[in-house]
Structures are given as structure tokens and as C-alpha cells.
A and B are shown apart, each in its own frame.
Chain A
């Protein structure tokens, strides 16, 4: 038994027949081969699967594909390709705010949504916003630094450099 859904994913029209039990994460990864959305816990705890639905971060592992019929879904691939997060990506790259890269899609979604809602968060607010994103590699500080630096740059302020190694200051 399948059901047809019609939606946009990263701006492209998609029309697919899906089983009702298929999760949005599996739909994106296995059906559309958008593998930038990751699965880390399949219970909404780790944040690796976050995607935007109508601009709001949502756990793709807890959402069924049939639920997004008629919606606009955006993944990291979409945000990246339309240039919406170029400064965040550059800040993460500069600050080495990722290691294995598996949490990175979710981190970018949370950071993107945070800065849209609160353009100048302090470090505690950034850490709080990241409270649903698990990273096993970095210890988080570099991620906080990268988001803080992006916010500063967007506000036209000089980049926060306190935590950068001497040679990249």
C-alpha cells in the first residue's frame, strides 16, 4: 500500500509514491539520495537528521514522508547550494568546528534557525540552542565559536577572535 505525495525538496518539485510508514529521513536519504541528512538515534534526541519544513527545523526521523505532502522541505544540500549559509560554512571551516562531519548537517540547521530568530545570541544562548544536537568529536566549543563569529560578522562587527589560534587571528 502506497500513497502519492507531492512536495518541494530544495526547491525542486517531487512526486513520489511512499509507504505510510516511511520516515522523511529514509525518504530523503534512500529515495531521493539526499544523504546529507543523517540518522544518529531515530528518536529525536541527537539532531543529526534536522531538516527545514517551511523554514522550521524538524527531526526527519520523527516525521513521516506522508506528513510533508504539500510542504516545502529543505536539507543541508539545498541551503548550501542556494548560498544561504555560505558564511556559516566558512566560519565552521575556519574554526574547525567539525571533525567526522556526521553531526554537521544538524548543527548547520540549528545554527541557521537560531541566527534567523536571534541575530546576536550570546555564548550561553548558542549553547542552549545546540542542546538538541549531539557532537561526539569537537567538545562543542569550536561550534559555539563559529556561530558566534557568524553572528558578529552578519552584524557588521569585527569577528570574535578570542578563541582562535594565534596564527589565524
Chain B
């Protein structure tokens, strides 16, 4: 009888984040802030060209420059670290060449590290870097992905037979028949630009190797400390136990900080060789040249519909351009793989063919970034739905209602093979229609159009992948944990401490874990101290990516809390000479379950079990620490869903787009903290809008990034962003007790698609259409035929 403690008191409440207080006081603890005794600074000399061969590298003058301790080239540094190759077994026949820390002859993108200077200050290291003589014989780089696949194209890297990293085709039997019998076929070619994470804190690492005891401690601004513990141990020939990775406050990550980069490996290697702490902080320009970029797709797609407006099939060809190497250890193939598998996901659409070509080029790598693949699949699908609606004179919201999988038709298997447990498209669309007052907004749009004001309404339904199990990486041989772990303990004074493997980057992981644990133990969340981000003090786990923090981490915390609850009740039963089943935990006390009568405080349990275990009945286990790991079972992934709408005004003279308003109705399963969920959605929406309207890594024909600074690369700022109204439908997953599915990617998944549909809706009277992101004023003017 534990019903009292089973009724959630804090799950579902908008608790504020305790850890926000230190940031508000200027007391954040970022890796960038860390200064260790005898710490030295690393600066990299980078290739100035996109492709070529090093002819001369003379570091003699740098070695003797003021403040310099050491200059490393490939010959000295690379041997300490085994090369890494970004392929996985479950992507059949994928290829990528091995990567080393510093270029050992061939340079493959402008910005690739060639030499590393270690000096007592960063300024001195930068000065010395300028004294290195580097001569490179330039080759013609592979810049355009389509040209890279042409017969006879030179490979982007030596050791490659062709520039195809990975190709696959996914299809149902009936796809050709569906197109042959279609009443209507709509088609479009799309270009989705390269953009990048622009975390406000750039990548930061301090590696601290202690040669006296052979211990490597790496302070690393990352989402995934356990993955890096494993990487550093394996590639530097250490045992797990010799490697500790600490991720303190992280100034934004969004997927970007979970990939292996040469600079991080260099700093670890240098610390091992020098026996002292080595720090590398990327400056903003280095961030643009060396952080992973995202997207960079060219897509051809078509959609078949019957006479009633039912979507019968899609056919899609996606070209994903990934730079010179597939990234490690997650590969650069997951993005494209999710693009072709998420196409048409909200709809009943029975037939499908998706073709994926992942292509090498001489640019910095692209790889997983927030909402991996989702924005592309969503934008393509939803643009085609809007084209079909226009062609068939059906209202776009109505056409979606006709085609989404009905809320009572689950479980459902998509044409691309995904298994959906339960989604809520119909409920979300209905709520969106009411929230945005769709009919009135259409009337307003028509009235303004008559006055020469061109506004557009864009809608985008979406499905989001969350809570991945081992099917994501583990089955392909990647040493990336599919499970998480938590240690929950009652302190001798009756407080609760939770150490958990999921990590915090400001989304509120620690706060929701405190809420979840608090409800299991009948305490207030402010009495639960949560510790994350340290491989020495938390159990091993996958950490925070692919929306797994709440769904997998939360379930881990819940089960750990319940285990500790049972232990506490067993001890209490011994003390009280009652049955554990008649007791429960509430308000910091052991209570009699039926009456709620307080019997013992948690502080008293802690005191007796810790200081007077001799007074417990003989044989009582006095453990007040519980450990629980959890790996998702059931469905291979969870899926969330929702719908977004964008309202824009386009100035058809200048091509400028004003975002007037944005709406999101979203179903992330059980909502643990509505305050944090809403802000995850808003932040995600703005990242999606940034890619849709502003953000692009622009390369010239020589493979040079031409806008790699925050003055030239446009990010969304407060004055350009709309207010974002959010509604919820709550469909918990039945695969877990907690029922949470995750919410990190939802905003980003569909915001750009909604915005593109809105811009095209505004341009409709002119017969103009844009299918390229970012939708810059120049591209809109080109679509209008003005330039």
C-alpha cells in the first residue's frame, strides 16, 4: 500500500531551476572559467586552404618565441593517439578514411589543424603561431556535393574510391503503382543551407594528466562525458579507471559538443606528453572553421495524391554533404538517414521511396545537430502538402486533417518502417486551429492582401524521434550507451542526493530529476540535490542527446527513487515493528499508508541507520543508497508529435520577412515541468527560424568559408523574433512508468517548415515560390523575378 507516495505532487509542476541562481549572480562554472596550477594554453595553426599537400612546415622560430613551451606537429603528436574512423556497421558499406590529430601531409578543409603551439599564455601562443612557416601545394577542392558524385570526380581525400560515403534506398512495393495511378502529383527541388550551432560558449577543454599516478582528468564542455571517457581511454591506451571526464556548466551544446574533434584529442595528448594541464578554448572564428556544421542538403521530392486529396506516396532523393570525413563516433550519416525515414511521417501515406546519398567534400564536417534530419523531412513533406493543397484548391489545414494518422488508429507502422505507439495529430491540429483563430486569420490575410500587404500563414505537422534504444548506435558497434544510471541516497540527516548519468546544459535536467525523485520519496524537490556531469561520481550512461534526458533519465531516476523508498520502508518497518506494505513516505516522513499518520521522520531513519544500526532488528539491511540502471525496452524509439504555424509578412519590394507570430501545439508525453518544456520549445523554434531565414555558412568556389564571424554570419536576435504561443496535448508513453517522451527537438523540427510555407503563402499572388534556406531577401526577390 504505497498509494500516498505514488500520487505525484511535483511531477507536472513549474518548478524553477535552482542552478539558474548561480548564473544570475555571475557564478557559473564553465570550462572557459577554469584555471589550474601550471596550466598552459594551446593554439592551433590551421590549413588556410581547402585541399592540398603540405610541402614545408618549419616551426623553428615558433619554438624559441617568448612563453612557448612546445610546438607539436603531426610527427610528434599523432603517435600518442590511435586514429579514429567515423563508420558504423549498421550503415552497410559506408566508408570514411581514418582521422589523426594533426594533418600528416594532406589537408582536407580550410581550418584543419596542422600544428599546435603550447605557451604560458594564449596571446604568446598566438604570437608564436604566426612564426610558423607553412607551405601547401594546393589541389582543386571538392566543393559541390552533386559534382562530387559525377563520373570521374576527384575524391575529397586520398584513400577514397569515390565521394560517396553512404547510399541507401528505402521503398515499399507499391510506390511506382501509386504514382502511376495518382490523380495529382506535386514535385519540388529544395536546397537546405549549411549552418552551425553557434553555442555562445565555444568549445572548451582543459586536460590535466597527472604522471605521478597516471590519472587523466578532462574538464570538457560536452553533453556526453561517458562517451568521451571511453574515447580518451581507448585512443590514448588508458584504462577507464585512469580517465575522469567532468562536464561542469556547458554554455550551449545542441549536439555540437558530443562529436570528437582533433583539437580536443590534441589537448589530451599534449597534457599526457607534458604532464601538466593544457587548455584549449576555441575563439569564435575557430568555432566557425572547426565546429561541426549542420544540414547541407539538396532534395528532389514528389508526392502523389488521389482525387479525394489522400496522399498515396512520396518519392524523395536526398543528397547530404558532409565534409571530408564522417564524424566520430556517431557518423555523419544519421542526419540523412533520418531525413529519408521521417518523410511523410505524420500521414497515413502507404507507399514511399527514399534514396539517400551521403557525399564527401572539402569542407568542415557536418553531423548531428539539434533535431537531426527532422527540419529537412518536415520542410519537404509540408511544402509538398501545401503545393498539393494549392493545386487541388483544398485549404491546407483541411488537407492535413484528411491525411494525418487518426488519433484512434494506433499503433501504426509508417511507410518508412517506423513504429508509432500513439500520436495525437488530430487533437493537435484542432487545438492549433482554435489557438490561432485560423478562420479569422485567413480573413485578415485576404483583407490585407487587397491593400497590398502580403502576409502568409504556414502550417507544419511533425513527428519527432526520442528516447532511442540500442538500435540507434549500439547495434552498429558504437560505444555509446543506450541506458542510464542513477544512485539515490538518503543522507544521515534525511536529505536526498541523486547522482545521475544524464547531463545538464541549461534545459533543466537536474531540476526535473529532483522533481521525479522527490515524488518517489515524499519530499520537496529542494531537498533533493542532483549531481551530473562527472564520470567519477555518477553511474555510467548515455547522457543527454536525442531527447533522452527526460524519457530515459527521468525513468531511471523514478525507478531508483522507488528502490530507495522500498529500502527506507523496510528499515522503518523494522524500527516500528510494522509491515513495510502498510507504510508510505510523505512530507519527509514515514507515514501509516491508510491514515497518513506520521510515524518517523526521514531524518530519524537516516540517524538510526547511520549512527545506531545496532538498534535495528538483527539482519536488517541498513543501506540507504539505491542504484538503478534503465534501458528503454518496448518500441525501439519513442515518437512525439505536434504542429506549428507561422504568420509572416513579406515586403515584396525588399524581400524582407517579418515574423509576426508563431504557434506550437506539441505532445511530448508526460510533462514533468511545464515551465521548462515551454522554454525548450521556444528556444528550439528560434533555432529553426534562424536556419530558415538567416543562418548559412557561405563557401566560395575555392572551399573557403567567407562569413565565419558573428559580424558576418547572421543569428536570430530578439528584435527579429516573434512571440511564440504554445499549447499541449499529453499522450504519455506506456513503455515507462513516467510516460515522458522528450521535447528538445520539437521546436526546431518544424519551425522552418512552417516559416517556409508562410513565406510561400504570402508570395502566392505573384506565382512565386522559394524552396531554399535560408530564405534571404535576395532569394525572395529572385523568386519574385525582381533580380
Which residues on A are within 8 Å of B, measured CB to CB?
A: 19, 21, 29-30, 33-43, 45-46, 48, 75-77, 80-81, 89, 92-94, 96, 98-105, 108, 123, 126-128, 130-144, 163, 165-168
Contacts and interface: CB of A to CB of B under 8 A. Distances in A.
Q: Pick from A43, A48, A100, A165 the residue with the most CB of B within 10 Å.
A: A100
A104 B24 contact: yes
Interface string B239-261: 00000000001111010000000
A168 B676 CA distance: 12
Contacts of B20: 92-93, 96, 98, 101
B718 A144 contact: yes
B710 A102 contact: no
Q: How large is the interface on B (under 10, 10 to 19, 20 to 34, 35 or more residues)?
A: 35 or more
Contacts of B3: none
B675 A165 contact: yes
A53 B772 CA distance: 44
B538 interface: no
Contact of B250 (A40, A100, A134): A100
Interface string B4-47: 00000000011011001111111110101101000000000000
A31 B14 CA distance: 40
B734 to A, nearest CB: 26
The A contact surface, by secondary structure, is loop
Given A99-B506, A100-B249, A140-B686, A41 B284 contact: yes
Contacts of A43: 284, 709-711
Contacts of B506: 98-101, 137
A75 B28 CA distance: 14
15 contacts: A29-B33, A35-B30, A38-B251, A45-B711, A46-B284, A100-B506, A101-B24, A130-B719, A134-B710, A135-B200, A137-B683, A138-B679, A139-B684, A139-B685, A141-B721
B178 to A, nearest CB: 39
Contacts of A165: 14, 674-675, 678
B710 A168 contact: no
Contact of A108 (B24, B30, B724): B24
B139 interface: no
B26 A140 contact: no
A42 B284 contact: yes
Contacts of A134: 198, 200, 710, 715, 717
Contacts of A130: 717-719
Given A128-B719, A131-B719, A136 B33 contact: no
Identify whether the interface residues of B are mostly helix, strand, loop, or mixed: loop
A48 to B, nearest CB: 6
Contacts of B679: 96, 99, 138-139, 142
10 tightest A-B contacts by CB? A36-B26, A101-B23, A99-B506, A102-B251, A76-B26, A139-B686, A100-B506, A139-B682, A35-B33, A130-B718
B283 interface: yes
A40 to B, nearest CB: 5
A139 B26 contact: no
B628 interface: no
Contact of B683 (A39, A76, A127, A139): A139
Nearest to A163: B723
Given A98-B23, A165-B14, 5 more contacts: A41-B710, A100-B199, A102-B28, A127-B721, A139-B685
B289 to A, nearest CB: 14
B201 to A, nearest CB: 5
Most buried by B among A48, A96, A132: A96
A46 B201 CA distance: 11
Contacts of B717: 130-134, 140
Contacts of B16: 93-94, 96
Nearest to B16: A93
Interface string B670-705: 000011101100111111000000000000000000
